[in-house]
Structure 1
């Protein structure tokens, strides 16, 4: 979040939240905090994110899941913060200080550092000592130690000039517009790359650059915000002011800096796939997919080796039938294979140090060992294939996830599988206790169709929501949602059009959704079973037929 946008958001938050009472603080994601504050007229929600890719701060209208048990730092803030006194941005830094009072009128500073991968959130007492913080670090950023019990120190100051006091001087090598924009963005505060480019473009068109900078400072001081989100040179941008000299494509105007920031970051999160820990979980799942795929390949190689078992038995039998041709010390013998029609000649390798019957016994031993190993290999192959199907389903769910509470479900599932360390009671309690919420729509004939968004809701759809007479759908051989068409009255007739509609929904919510036609399984719900001990979202289908349909995303989803 650039310093200009941050300055505008802080000005808005200061105006609207100063003096407000903390009603609730909760942590819907591992790197996101939501504070609900009562101003005396309305309840507003403040979002603080320490996401390494999209650290940000703004008021939000987006609704987040409220976990049933807060993590340690969130519990601390709930206990210590009662009222927000004032808000200010540290000059020259992407650091915001919330001055707060506690239950006994004690003074605290909640400090938000929005510095990329070093983003952090700290609670500091009246003596400047860190009470606790989000990310503990020892002498990492700028040599600072950020630990509880240590004095809080700001990063080393940077040589930046405030907008209103800029002297208008440019270095000699800043002749081109790009060089002017680079110089402004590196030396002035608060400013953004977009505003620096806009100022430089105005200077190129003959306007007095120093006056343009002072105009920007005056607009910021007077809070004359015109928040806008648009596209410049193919890149999405957000600004508290409409550029005067640069033309934005797809321009959207907003009533407040927070509204613009929320629209901008929500779109980025969806496009970049960085909903909380989504990017981290995607990389983790991709690594596990690679490991399971490699293990599957090795087991299949072992399976191919097992096909040689019958060859060992055959060679043992042929040796017994041709003992008169074998002598100790021979390395091989050629015999007639009378099992072939017509008979063929076979060369059998021998151990010259063994007697003829010992060589035959050795082939029989190897045959029996492979027969015993076949059951083990087949079991491992089945289990590993199930694991591959499961992790492919998790990867697909992650690619479709747009809500934070669904991400909590997926993380909880990966925790149960031992792939990620436990994030604590908050996520586990929330994921286990929250009732799954499958999406739904109506078929043309008025039947309700449900489908899951991840393994947990798929399990709910197939195991708890389904009952006798319902129809179950899933795209063939690819990860996707479990889809259920509910039959409200036993024996009620369901038209083929309704079945094809539900099948098209299953096609649309599968990895094959971009295909023109998708093969979809159609089964009775009673023919769908979850094997004992199977991973979430995995079922077996006793009987089904398939249909070819075009993917269909319903107009109304709930």
Structure 2
């Protein structure tokens, strides 16, 4: 039984308020980690300061607040080193070595932490932007129903700690099976009947039909998989796609995850095929009515799901952007569903 419109609107407002606070917290954390990284990048300078103090320990005046000494690795270059006048040169050197060791650890530990938190910030920013876009499209007294968005908000809330939730209790949300389906009535009429379920790899677990993607063939014969929902996008990207497959997604708008299967070997799709699949990715998105659309293209190995991100969210690196006009795939490109065990999902 669906909730009354006023209840849905109030719940969405409550969720948005909590997630905005979490976004601000994470943004502050990003700034803190960037400061830590800046300190970490000084590791070599800190170690050189410690080594210089020990090399010229007898030349350091007592109670000095700063000393200028020759660089042991380049005698023509001097180093100015700040000191604590209350301790000896040896103790100051030990402190520099300690800071250098901490900075060296930071060079290994901070970057992955920073990338993870930045991904979380981006995930929340995208989610909050979807809320803002929905509100802008609503009239003063109207509520636009978006079950997929509300489900993603609930999922984001569930990923927070009890303290971060601000007293809100996550609700169980039925998965939206067509959240990113941007196909026309003609495409829906032409699509093959979904399988009731399929085996996952060589195991016994059955994959729900709602996760199964569209399967298409390009003019040059390349297999293409297109997610039908947020959960289906996760399945296509993180279970069916191989690391060297090409991954497509419209830039800056919600849309389907699209995967071009490369198969095995050094075979590469042509530019015409990349453009063709990019146009399909633009069509299966909320930007399908735009004239020209930027589409991200990268290898699947550069795509990952943000920690605690909602279903269907992904971040990528090493991408290039293709500008295309959205094109609905022709009827002859539609193929039967692929069994996941035939698709050789990565384990």
TM-score exceeds 0.5:
yes
SS in 2 for 1:50: helix
Select 1:323's aligned residue among 57, 62, 66: 57
Which position in structure 2 is the counterpart of 1:422? Answer: 169
**Residue 92 of structure 2 corresponds to which residue in structure 1?**
359
Asked if the contact 1:528/1:539 (under 8 Å) is kept, the reply is no
For residues 133 and 212 of structure 2, the distance between their equivalents in structure 1, rounded to whole angstroms, comes to: 14
Say if 2:44 is the partner of 1:310. Answer: yes
User: Could you give the per-residue CA deviations for residues 272-319 of structure 1, whole angstroms, max 9, x where no partner exists?
Assistant: xx6x74455445444433332222122112211222222221111111
- Counterparts of 1:321 and 1:364, CA distance in 2: 14
**2:337 corresponding residue in structure 1:** none
Unmatched 5+ stretches in structure 2: 135-143, 178-206, 335-347
Q: 2:127 aligns with which of 389, 394, 405?
A: 394
1:381-403: CA deviation from partner (whole Å, max 9, x where unpaired) = 13212312332343455567776
Question: Does 1:335 find its partner at 2:69?
Answer: yes
Partner SS, residue 343 of structure 1? strand
Of the two, which has the highest radius of gyration? 1
1:417 Cα offset (Å): 0.9
Deviation at residue 512 of structure 1 after TM alignment: 12
Is residue 450 from structure 1 mapped to residue 226 from structure 2 by the alignment? yes
Indicate conservation of the 8 Å contact 1:506/1:520, yes or no.
no
Gaps of 5+ in 1: 1-25, 33-48, 53-273
User: RMSD of the TM alignment (CA)?
Assistant: 4.7
Q: Secondary structure at the match of 2:68?
A: strand
Alignment of 1:219-368 (within 5 A): 277-340=11-74, 343-368=76-101
Tell me what 1:271 maps to: none
**TM-fit CA distance, 1:496:** 4.7
The answer to whether the Cα contact below 8 Å between 2:55 and 2:72 also exists between their aligned partners in 1 is: no
Contact 2:296–2:320 (Cα < 8 Å) also in 1: yes
Question: In structure 1, how many angstroms separate the alpha carbons of the residues matched to 2:118 and 2:225?
Answer: 29
Go from structure 1 to structure 2 and tell me whether the alpha carbon gap of 1:389 and 1:482 turns closer, same or farther (over 3 Å shift): farther
Taking a change above 3 Å as real, the CA distance of residues 327 and 494 of structure 1, as seen in their structure-2 partners, is closer
Query: Which of 292, 297, 313 does residue 521 from structure 1 map onto?
Result: 297
Asked if the contact 1:449/1:502 (under 8 Å) is kept, the reply is no
Distance 2:288 2:28 in 1: 24
2:118 corresponds to which of 385, 409, 418 = 385
Deviation of residue 514 (structure 1)? 6.7
Residue in 1 aligned with 2:249?
474
SS in 2 for 1:319: helix
SS in 1 for 2:84: coil
| Structure 1 stretch displaced more, 291-300 or 500-509 | 500-509
2:151 alignment partner in structure 1: 409
**Which of the numbers 534, 537, 550 marks the counterpart of 2:324?**
550
Q: What are the Cα deviations for residues 539-558 of structure 1, in whole angstroms up to 9, with x where unaligned?
A: 6879x774522241638999
Give yes or no for the alignment of 1:483 onto 2:265: no
Distance 1:438 1:282 in 2: 31
CA offset digits 1:51-108 (Å, max 9, x no partner)? 58xxxxxxxxxxxxxxxxxxxxxxxxxxxxxxxxxxxxxxxxxxxxxxxxxxxxxxxx
Q: What is the alpha-carbon distance in structure 1 between the residues aligned to residue 49 and residue 237 of structure 2?
A: 51
Q: Secondary structure at the match of 2:247?
A: strand
Cα distance in 2, alignment partners of residues 515 and 308 from structure 1 = 48
- 2:277 equivalent to 1:502: yes
Aligned runs of 1:29-178 on 2, under 5 Å? 31-32=3-4, 49-51=5-7
Q: Does 1:459 align with 2:266?
A: no
Gap change, CA 1:442 and 1:336, over 3 Å in 2: same
